[in-house]
Amino acid sequence: MKNSVRGSVDPFIVMDVMEAASNKEKSGYEVIHLEVGQPGTSAPKMAAESVKNKISKSTMGYTVALGIPELREKIADLYLRWYNIQVEPERIIVTPGSSGAFILTFTGLFDVGDTVGVGSPGYPSYRQILKALSLNTSIIKTFNNNKFQPVAADIINNSLDGLLVASPANPTGSMLNKYDLEKLIDACKMKQTVFISDEIYHGIEYESKAVSALEVSDDCIVINSFSKYFSMTGWRLGWIVVPKNHIRQFERLAQNMFICAPHISQIAALGALDASDELNLNLKTYEANRTMLIEELPKLGLENFAPPDGAFYFYIDVSEYTNDSVNFAKSVLDEVHVAVTPGIDFDPERGRKTIRLSYACSTSDLKEGLKRLEKFMSKYIIK
């Protein structure tokens, strides 16, 4: 039996690193996890309460394909709370994670052979999902001086069917301000390129608030998730906001592809949306961790990074020490039992000289991780 060509996607390297770290743990080592982009905290207590209250009273059967109406209303309310904008609940489509949202969006909007632009470095699964759906990826090389984000010229000088942008971004944590977002969206309108905004890290921002594409235009697709700010990665729940004339197309696809997002997670999300007090405590941890890394990383010889505007990552240029980030990450894991992600996950070419650290863990884990990294880095530092 043959495998499909379109299905022969690259591995998600961070998952491979997680597996290597887990094997180390099985051999009795205590590993500090700075590789994985998931909060070290569990789902908010109000999410668990919501499930507890419903689980014995409901069959937990299928929900309607677009999601429980009450949940769609509460998500619409989030747009009012966070950005002071009105979004009609009918435009919200609840999905199995934002990962499910990408499949739905790409299938709903594009035909085989269409081309979608994604920034590099960027979240690796974008290009792999596009490939698996027989769509082309146009890699847009981004640079530090543009906050590692695409710019209007990248759209004007290309013929893209879609552009997918994340702000705050993974792996850099960089954010687009409203002016730059407007310029990108205007360029997309001019070229009839669909603008898709991955807003999965909204809510986790430091010096200024992240701007939603919906504050600029209703004529775009916005994707979000309960994984990051809401600390619910394994619950597999996300959502899309679509323009009104796309609702039925996305609904038909959702019915056939997923039937519905996990019912129990939708119930949990109803509680999570009321849990801002608890969730804002997580933000305090991220803030403290970010400050610690800004101060401590340069002391270890890891000074080539731009402090993140949002999310919980540092993307560090380690070209002084290696041009093989996979091997570098492997040595860090083998020698001091700290898991970090090699940059090639995010940028197959330049990522050979970068690593990503996630600081979504507890502050005490991060302190221990830094202590171990200091030991690892000491071999490179000339005393």
Q: Alpha-carbon distance 119 to 283, whole Å?
A: 27
Q: What angle do CA 58, 62, 65 make, to 5 degrees?
A: 135
In angstroms, give the least distance from the CB of 335 to ligand PLP. 27
Among 94, 130, 166, 267, binds ligand PLP (CB under 6 A): 166
Of 232 and 267, which CB lies nearer to ligand PLP in the complex structure?
Answer: 232
Q: Does 308 bind ligand PLP (CB under 6 A)?
A: no
The amino acid at 353: K
In angstroms, give the least distance from the CB of 170 to ligand PLP. 4
Residue 166 bridge partners (DSSP): 198
Q: Does 99 bind ligand PLP (CB under 6 A)?
A: yes
Which range in 97-105, 248-256, 282-290, 352-360 contacts ligand PLP by CB under 6 A? 97-105
Among 39, 238, 343, 351, binds ligand PLP (CB under 6 A): 238
Q: Does 305 bind ligand PLP (CB under 6 A)?
A: no
Ramachandran sector of residue 323 (left: φ over 0; alpha: ψ -120 to 50; beta: rest): alpha
Which range in 95-103, 184-192, 261-269, 293-301 contacts ligand PLP by CB under 6 A? 95-103
Q: Alpha-carbon distance 361 to 365, whole Å?
A: 6
Count of residues in contact with ligand PLP, rule CB under 6 A: 13
Q: Alpha-carbon distance 194 to 81, whole Å?
A: 26
Which range in 111-119, 225-233, 352-360, 370-378 contacts ligand PLP by CB under 6 A? 225-233
In angstroms, give the least distance from the CB of 278 to ligand PLP. 20
| CB 154, CB 140: distance < 8 Å | yes
For residues 102 to 131, the per-residue mask of contacts with ligand PLP, x marking binding by CB under 6 A and - elsewhere, is ---------------------x--------
Q: Encoding tokens for residue 109?
A: 């909007």
Of 166 and 260, which CB lies nearer to ligand PLP in the complex structure?
Answer: 166
**CA 178 centroid distance within chain:** 20
Among 227, 282, 289, 325, binds ligand PLP (CB under 6 A): 227
Q: Does 174 bind ligand PLP (CB under 6 A)?
A: no
Of 240 and 366, which CB lies nearer to ligand PLP in the complex structure?
Answer: 240
Show contacts with ligand PLP in window 18-77 (CB under 6 A).
Answer: 37
Of 265 and 285, which CB lies nearer to ligand PLP in the complex structure?
Answer: 265
Of 63 and 225, which CB lies nearer to ligand PLP in the complex structure?
Answer: 225
> Where are the alpha helices (H) located in the chain, listed in sequence order?
13-26, 45-55, 69-83, 97-109, 124-132, 152-156, 178-190, 247-257, 263-272, 276-296, 325-336, 363-377
For residues 186 to 205, the per-residue mask of contacts with ligand PLP, x marking binding by CB under 6 A and - elsewhere, is ------------x-x-----
Q: Encoding tokens for residue 150?
A: 């695409």
Residue 208 bridge partners (DSSP): none
Task: Compute the half-sphere exposure of residue 169: CA atoms within 13 Å on the CB side of its CA.
Answer: 29
Among 63, 98, 167, 172, binds ligand PLP (CB under 6 A): 98
Q: Does 343 bind ligand PLP (CB under 6 A)?
A: no
Q: Alpha-carbon distance 281 to 201, whole Å?
A: 16
DSSP character string of 268-334 = HHHHHTT-HHHHHHHHHHHHHHHHHHHHHGGGGT-------SBTTEEEEE-TTT-S-HHHHHHHHHH
For 66, list phi and psi in degrees, rounded to 5. -80, -10
Of 258 and 321, which CB lies nearer to ligand PLP in the complex structure?
Answer: 258
Q: Does 240 bind ligand PLP (CB under 6 A)?
A: no
Which class for 258: exposed (0-12), middle (13-18), buried (19 or more C-beta within 10 A)?
middle
Q: Does 266 bind ligand PLP (CB under 6 A)?
A: no
- Contact residues: ligand PLP, CB under 6 A: 37, 97-99, 123, 166, 170, 198, 200, 225, 227, 233, 238
